Amino acid sequence: MVADVIDSDSWRLWPAGDKRLMVDKQVYRNLSTVTDKDLDTVKRNFEWVVEQLDHLVPPNEHLVVIVMGSPADKAHCENIQKYCNELGLKSEVRCTSAHKTTEYTLDMISFYEGLNVPLVFIAVAGRSNGLGPVISGNTDYPVINCPPGPKEDLQRDVWSSLNVPSGLGCSTVVYPETAALCAAQNIALTNYIVWAKLRARRLGFLETLPRADKEIRSTH
Amino acid sequence: MVADVIDSDSWRLWPAGDKRLMVDKQVYRNLSTVTDKDLDTVKRNFEWVVEQLDHLVPPNEHLVVIVMGSPADKAHCENIQKYCNELGLKSEVRCTSAHKTTEYTLDMISFYEGLNVPLVFIAVAGRSNGLGPVISGNTDYPVINCPPGPKEDLQRDVWSSLNVPSGLGCSTVVYPETAALCAAQNIALTNYIVWAKLRARRLGFLETLPRADKEIRSTH
Amino acid sequence: MVADVIDSDSWRLWPAGDKRLMVDKQVYRNLSTVTDKDLDTVKRNFEWVVEQLDHLVPPNEHLVVIVMGSPADKAHCENIQKYCNELGLKSEVRCTSAHKTTEYTLDMISFYEGLNVPLVFIAVAGRSNGLGPVISGNTDYPVINCPPGPKEDLQRDVWSSLNVPSGLGCSTVVYPETAALCAAQNIALTNYIVWAKLRARRLGFLETLPRADKEIRSTH
Amino acid sequence: MVADVIDSDSWRLWPAGDKRLMVDKQVYRNLSTVTDKDLDTVKRNFEWVVEQLDHLVPPNEHLVVIVMGSPADKAHCENIQKYCNELGLKSEVRCTSAHKTTEYTLDMISFYEGLNVPLVFIAVAGRSNGLGPVISGNTDYPVINCPPGPKEDLQRDVWSSLNVPSGLGCSTVVYPETAALCAAQNIALTNYIVWAKLRARRLGFLETLPRADKEIRSTH
Amino acid sequence: MVADVIDSDSWRLWPAGDKRLMVDKQVYRNLSTVTDKDLDTVKRNFEWVVEQLDHLVPPNEHLVVIVMGSPADKAHCENIQKYCNELGLKSEVRCTSAHKTTEYTLDMISFYEGLNVPLVFIAVAGRSNGLGPVISGNTDYPVINCPPGPKEDLQRDVWSSLNVPSGLGCSTVVYPETAALCAAQNIALTNYIVWAKLRARRLGFLETLPRADKEIRSTH
Amino acid sequence: MVADVIDSDSWRLWPAGDKRLMVDKQVYRNLSTVTDKDLDTVKRNFEWVVEQLDHLVPPNEHLVVIVMGSPADKAHCENIQKYCNELGLKSEVRCTSAHKTTEYTLDMISFYEGLNVPLVFIAVAGRSNGLGPVISGNTDYPVINCPPGPKEDLQRDVWSSLNVPSGLGCSTVVYPETAALCAAQNIALTNYIVWAKLRARRLGFLETLPRADKEIRSTH
Amino acid sequence: MVADVIDSDSWRLWPAGDKRLMVDKQVYRNLSTVTDKDLDTVKRNFEWVVEQLDHLVPPNEHLVVIVMGSPADKAHCENIQKYCNELGLKSEVRCTSAHKTTEYTLDMISFYEGLNVPLVFIAVAGRSNGLGPVISGNTDYPVINCPPGPKEDLQRDVWSSLNVPSGLGCSTVVYPETAALCAAQNIALTNYIVWAKLRARRLGFLETLPRADKEIRSTH
Amino acid sequence: MVADVIDSDSWRLWPAGDKRLMVDKQVYRNLSTVTDKDLDTVKRNFEWVVEQLDHLVPPNEHLVVIVMGSPADKAHCENIQKYCNELGLKSEVRCTSAHKTTEYTLDMISFYEGLNVPLVFIAVAGRSNGLGPVISGNTDYPVINCPPGPKEDLQRDVWSSLNVPSGLGCSTVVYPETAALCAAQNIALTNYIVWAKLRARRLGFLETLPRADKEIRSTH
């Protein structure tokens, strides 16, 4: 049943032709009638989706490899991993320097390429980011740069991630949550569970933001 | 045969156990013996790979949607599409403004979601980039921001692409080639032809850069 | 009586031909005679103006809509609203994300357009500001961007507010007080009470700054 | 007739209950059917609106005062005035320096305040902008800073416009068109002709952008 | 005696042909012999100069006018005044806003011009500095901009002081001490007491820095 | 006669009690009557002042020393000297590098100190400005930094002029004209001819700017 | 024995043909077998190298001269010296200002040039760095600029170190450790003990980073 | 004879006790007597030094390795090599990408380390500089980053060279001439010919700058 129903196209029919989730989008059409009951309907639907996802078997293997250039960036990587966990992603956290342990870095890339599963690398390297570009130059899997800060250095150091030489294909984000979401969007191309997690999460905004709006409006 | 041989893990065995491609990596081990013959071997292997790819049937459908916020960015998008073509990606170029034709933008996203194929959006919007974040907030497919310039404005305008609010998962690149490569890396997770195009292209560096090195060294 | 007397042109005659308020401007002509009595005259006039305004009936309806992109910006919006209150402006505080709840945002704009009163929108969105430009692209009322900070990010993030695409007409300020003053100046074009509040407030500078000057001068 | 029909609330009923303009918004609902005929309907409606506006009598007086700090900024001001003309705004272009002819500047402000019509000032001053803040400190009408460039200096010089002291209410834009649009949005609060010009212009985007999209899509 | 001896040219002969002060410069010629006795000679000479200055009658009147744009900058101005006092400068601290009390500012300039003594203005205005340029456009005395901070805003706000329109002649410094020193150098052109204070102070560096060097060297 | 009449205080009485120059300030009081005749009166007065200055004997000696760090900055220095000439300043142009010919620089400073006339140094050094700070650390005369560009480097290189160590008193300007005006304001403290040149020049703005305003207003 | 064995070429044979150190590089070839025993082998080798270095006699003299422009930078210089000590470098810490005690600075340079040993200067000067360029213009030994901060000023002040005039050969680093490492690399060209210290230290990364990786991997 | 005379300490005695070169420094002591004859003496001495250097045999081997990350940087590297040639340095120009041909880069480093001569690496890599840091992490020889531009990108891209991770010891310069001078200063620690070239070149400034000064002074 799952294979038929849950993919990016037929979500609107889900679950099994039930149009209740469509209804929640109509709720917002007439702003004057956003009642608590409407919001609760959305919320219940949303929670139901999340629960269902826990019963599904993962369709295939995948791995998000979070690589830090220095042990000092461990907290940043754990933050990324926390978001990965919430999105149903499998991940590993590793440590190697493209500058100081270059061969170890190349071996690490080879090791993960040999696993034969869809991979996404998230490169976490402060100051001059050699890690993401060196990984990207030695693999064809997606590489997402997510510099660890400190925040006040980001404005200048982000260019070592963004302004990569021609021929390299790594992209850049500036928040751990964004890195995990990007990785999830990539993996979701081959994994409907992750895709459903993303959609359920995004559906949640349709409940949380209008509820926040309602509270704020009522008190100002 | 293809299904057995060409995937991310068994490339080293390709084609069919022939170790010639491995050889080319050993060439660089002893720097004093990079002969023209060695480089030609690499080059011929590389060309053979590229040729073979043209005979393979695409394993499944996919689409890269390149969206510009203004007709003024057409040349930038055509440049991205040119790189997509080289990497074997199917792409469409579209035009809509998240600010001025917001509903049209939402309808366009729905239209592509309804196609039921792996999608990657590349958002091309100059000045304040509302397009990429609005698309990313309304889909779960990967969205890659690739601001069109002019180059001297990039340093400040790129932050409207990079510094997205919490909950959004779009990433950013600054060159058309990088955007196409990122899209290809995403699609390659489900498409071995695109994956092979990427690998063949990257293999090419092992021939072109040492040849350039040899020429430069001989004249200085 | 009010209609004859209080408009932008005849303020100098106000109240009812009394030239005392003109006198206070002459006070500053001869710097050597700024006595405490002179400053007190200005101050009493100024206070009298403020008191009178409380007895007048608003000439028509209006509304300042302060919209935040995230509940995290509530304090910033309350600060704007506090200044609006001081200037006699009616305001509402709302919450919606142009990225994550795009349709809800469009519906919110339609709702306020339907109220049929002079409107000013103040858009409060941190990081990449999609909110102000999306509102401005979907209404013809004034839209004032007032990014919420943090202050150290303002220098780069303000460009997502300032550097809007062609065809959009939103403007930008960097302080909550400035946003409220701009909104008041807009509303004052059709509302003499708000206009008088602005003038009385500005007249206050002629008393407070010279008094501060006098105190500082006497102690240094 | 006009008073009944053309205001911000009843535009949807305009002209006289004809729902054709509503239709054009429905056109975009089903993306697969944007035919040339649909776009032409929108276009004809749009042109009809523009024509009708030329027959209406302005409801009241107003003035946009475009002030430059140096004769060198004449072209920039003429550009702003061109956009003002297109939006049905009356405008004057003036020249005075807040630094070098301070009293002349104060007299100029008094002169316009004495005209007793809704005013908007647009301040055009390169380098350190003293003009906009000095005008704003001496009037209660809206003041819009629009620095004249050169563009490469904007990033640092714009702060003399943006970062105004407490108590000042001027706002800032970076393009001549944006300045004219802001001025029009302010005047439109009291002038339905200008309001209608703005709406017709914005309605035009619903025709021009989808047409551009259609052309681009068909050739890529 | 004073008139013969103390001017910028004959300092080397001072006091009264005694060449001891020349000696202190020779001390540094042979680095290996910087004894404590040598440094003490310099120090005693230096102290003698300072003492003598207290017995001299000022040759003429002068005034440094430190003007702040807001009472919030009082501490910054007091800091400047403290340095002025140390250099023997007479100074007054004033408060006026070029934006909000423009005429009061013009009157203040006229008042000081009427004093008929050599003047230097130091303008202290945060954010967009209109004060220094407006003063400079309305006087021919030197105007020194010394923005009050906060320090992290200096990099962008200093341009409203530095990038003045053509025809204005104000200069800029970033520290209170530098402002006082600049003012002293200007006044010293007509006042040998201030000139001597400056020279004695600068002579002090020849004692304090080598002493610091000696201490540091001995402990590392 | 001159000594009685031309000083900073009695300018308003000049020439010899003739109040015509006062009149020109009253001209601007009533904006509606700025006739060509009024402007011509101002202009003739202004020209008469300039002519008279040519017949006066300089009251004392002075010198502006324009020092460049490299022969490449000659054009920039000539530009400064041109403005100095227009303001009646005596100047010399010199070349020395604080980095490469340090002792030559120190000797040059000593040489000018020995001239025993009021001095102003203008330091012109591109890239890292060591010249101005080294001169300022070795003299007590005013030192004005005026970096030669190129303009696009100014934003970062100006800090080597602005951010001087404690104890140094040099100030900074960014235009050749501003450097000459600052030097003139300094010299004018002891030289009424230069002072009168400055005042006549500034008086000129009261004629040229209103004339420009009149022309612009009449054609827009 | 030492002279034969320890130089940059024969390190791989060291000590005395023992290939154990080569082994440690092979360890990383097969990522799946990085056992604790392997890492311990590397570590023991590394420790052995460090111990041996303590028994060797320095091959010749050398000196690193760390010069600060102000006593306020003492802590920064001590930090540099600490790293110098760890690398076996002899160093002295000095204090002189290129601006305020220019001749003393020139004498200091002459003094060290007279020592007739290989020298490296490290120039530590905050704000506008005149010290490094003045030293570099007066010697032919390497000069390394290492600005002392504060960190938030580095971005603009570093240009007074980087953007030196033509003809100067000083280089720039931003961390005390980097300055010491650069000095060591320079001295190592003539001193095998320092060279060996550098190599042993770099060899250490091959043990510490994989160990950190192993720990991180095991807990995530 | 040469070995006795030309080293860094005895230059002042050179050639063979002749004090003429000392004389030229005394020339500048009395600024009023810089005659053409004095300058010619300096010039002839300077030329004599340069000629003598051509007859000397290099004392030992050395090599400057100029490595570019892309063939596009060839002109920049040739420029560096031109300056190296002028300073008597032996150099080679190579091409490899740390990102795209990582192993080839590591092999290249090993190759040069095996040459057993004093080495200096100059790394030329545009955009994100991975080359210099990767070389520096894999050798103990000096590594000098010299980014190739374009100049307008330098301000942000230089940080990928400057802001290297802890443990790396590469330094940075921004001009080809500076890179060559730094390399020469390093090699000069072990090579008196290069040292003498540097000193002769620096001595040249004592002739060229005063001559330029003399010409400029005589015409202004």
- Alpha-carbon distance G33 to nearest alpha carbon in chain H (angstroms): 22
> Terminus-to-terminus CA distance in chain H, angstroms?
48
Provide the percentage of residues in chain A whose pLDDT is more than 90: 68
- Measured between beta carbons, the chain E residues lying within 8 angstroms of C174 are none
What's the pLDDT score for residue H33? 55
Comparing B34 with C188, the larger pLDDT belongs to C188
Mean pLDDT (whole number) for C140-145: 98
Q: How far is CA B114 from CA A12, B107, B121, in A?
A: 10, 11, 14
- Selecting from G77, G110, G152 the residue whose C-beta is nearest the C-beta of E152 gives G152
B47 falls in which pLDDT band (50, 70, 90)? confident
Partner G contacted by E175 (CB < 8 A) = no
Decide if pLDDT at C150 tops 60: yes
Highest mean pLDDT of the ranges A23-37, F84-98, G56-70? F84-98
Mean pLDDT (whole number) for F107-136: 97
Partner F contacted by H202 (CB < 8 A) = yes
- Measured between beta carbons, the chain H residues lying within 8 angstroms of F67 are none
Decide if pLDDT at A146 tops 70: yes
What's the pLDDT score for residue H36? 76
Q: Give the mutation candidate from C76, C95, C100, C156 for the A interface (greatest A CB count, under 10 A).
A: C95
Lowest mean pLDDT among E55-69, F168-182, H164-178: E55-69
Q: Give the mutation candidate from G104, G108, G113, G152 for the E interface (greatest E CB count, under 10 A).
A: G104
H4 falls in which pLDDT band (50, 70, 90)? very low
pLDDT tens track for E11-29? 433 333 333 344 344 444 4
In angstroms, rounded to a whole number, what is the distance separating the alpha carbons of residues E80 and E203? 22
Decide if pLDDT at C62 tops 90: yes
Lowest mean pLDDT among A15-24, B98-107, D115-124, F37-46: A15-24
Contact F134 G166 (CB under 8 A): no
Provide the percentage of residues in chain F whose pLDDT is more than 90: 68
Q: So what's the ipTM on this one?
A: 0.83
The amino acid sitting at H114 is G
Decide if pLDDT at B6 tops 60: no
Helix (H, G, I), strand (E, B) or coil at B24: helix
Partner G contacted by A145 (CB < 8 A) = no
Mean pLDDT (whole number) for C15-29: 40
Interface E:G, Cβ pairs < 8 A: 52
- Spatial neighbors of H197 by CB under 8 A, at least 6 apart, are H53, H86, H87, H88, H184
Is-contact H81 H66, C-beta < 8 A?
A: yes
In angstroms, rounded to a whole number, what is the distance separating the alpha carbons of residues B10 and B5? 6
Contact H171 G169 (CB under 8 A): no
What's the pLDDT score for residue D34? 63
Mean pLDDT rounded to a whole number for chain G: 84
What's the pLDDT score for residue G44? 73
Is-contact F168 F137, C-beta < 8 A?
A: yes
Structure tokens at B24: 């080319």
Contact F140 E114 (CB under 8 A): no
Q: What is the DSSP string of C7-45?
A: STTGGGGTTTT--HHHHHHHHTTSGGG--HHHHHHHHHH
Mean pLDDT (whole number) for B110-138: 97
Q: How far is CA G108 from CA E26, G101, G115, H41, in A?
A: 14, 11, 11, 28
Comparing D55 with H67, the larger pLDDT belongs to H67
DSSP β-ladder status, H91-95 and H63-68: parallel
Strand partners of residue G145: G123, G172
Decide if pLDDT at G196 tops 50: yes
Decide if pLDDT at E79 tops 60: yes
Interface C:D, Cβ pairs < 8 A: 131
- Measured between beta carbons, the chain C residues lying within 8 angstroms of D168 are 178, 181
Q: What is the DSSP string of H42-74?
A: HHHHHHHHHHHHHTSPPSS--EEEEEESSGGGH
pLDDT tens track for E121-139? 999 999 999 999 999 999 9
- Measured between beta carbons, the chain A residues lying within 8 angstroms of G173 are none
> Terminus-to-terminus CA distance in chain E, angstroms?
48
Is-contact A116 A145, C-beta < 8 A?
A: no
In angstroms, rounded to a whole number, what is the distance separating the alpha carbons of residues E198 and E11? 12
Decide if pLDDT at G213 tops 80: yes
Give the side-chain half-sphere CA count within 13 A for C34. Answer: 23
G121's enclosing H/E stretch is strand G119-124
Comparing A38 with D69, the larger pLDDT belongs to D69
What's the pLDDT score for residue C55? 60
What's the pLDDT score for residue F27? 42
Give the side-chain half-sphere CA count within 13 A for D63. Answer: 14
- Measured between beta carbons, the chain F residues lying within 8 angstroms of D103 are 25, 28
C46 falls in which pLDDT band (50, 70, 90)? low
- Measured between beta carbons, the chain E residues lying within 8 angstroms of F7 are 116
- Alpha-carbon distance A63 to nearest alpha carbon in chain H (angstroms): 23
Mean pLDDT (whole number) for G124-136: 98
Structure tokens at B15: 């084609």
Decide if pLDDT at C34 tops 80: no
Is-contact H216 F74, C-beta < 8 A?
A: yes
- F-contacting chains (≥3 CB pairs under 8 Å): D, E, G, H
Decide if pLDDT at F54 tops 70: no
- Measured between beta carbons, the chain H residues lying within 8 angstroms of A138 are 102
What's the pLDDT score for residue D196? 94
Decide if pLDDT at F59 tops 90: no
What's the pLDDT score for residue F80? 98
Comparing A60 with G161, the larger pLDDT belongs to G161
B40 falls in which pLDDT band (50, 70, 90)? confident
In B28-73, alpha helices (H): 36-54
What's the pLDDT score for residue G19? 37
Partner F contacted by H220 (CB < 8 A) = yes
Decide if pLDDT at E145 tops 60: yes
Decide if pLDDT at E60 tops 90: no
Decide if pLDDT at H59 tops 90: no
- Measured between beta carbons, the chain B residues lying within 8 angstroms of C133 are 98-99, 128, 130
Q: Give the mutation candidate from G102, G124, G158, G161 for the F interface (greatest F CB count, under 10 A).
A: G102
Contact G32 A71 (CB under 8 A): no
Picking from G101, F102, G102, the residue whose alpha carbon sits closest to that of residue E208 is: G101
Sheet containing strand B143-145, strands side by side: A91-95, A63-68, A119-124, A143-145, A171-172, B171-172, B143-145, B119-124, B63-68, B91-95
Mean pLDDT (whole number) for E92-112: 98
Chain G residue with minimum CA distance to H186: G186
What's the pLDDT score for residue F44? 72
What's the pLDDT score for residue C14? 37
Residues 98-137 of G with CB under 8 A from H: 113-116, 118, 137
- Measured between beta carbons, the chain E residues lying within 8 angstroms of D67 are none
Q: Give the mutation candidate from C100, C129, C139, C152 for the B interface (greatest B CB count, under 10 A).
A: C100
Long-range contacts of E20-24 (CB under 8 A, 24+ apart): E20/E45, E21/E45, E21/E203, E24/E203, E24/E206, E24/E207
Q: What is the dihedral of CA H27, H46, F97, H82, to 10 degrees?
A: 180
Decide if pLDDT at F142 tops 50: yes
- Alpha-carbon distance A118 to nearest alpha carbon in chain B (angstroms): 6
- Measured between beta carbons, the chain C residues lying within 8 angstroms of A155 are 156
In angstroms, rounded to a whole number, what is the distance separating the alpha carbons of residues F125 and F129? 5
What's the pLDDT score for residue B56? 59
Q: Give the mutation candidate from E24, E31, E208 for the G interface (greatest G CB count, under 10 A).
A: E31
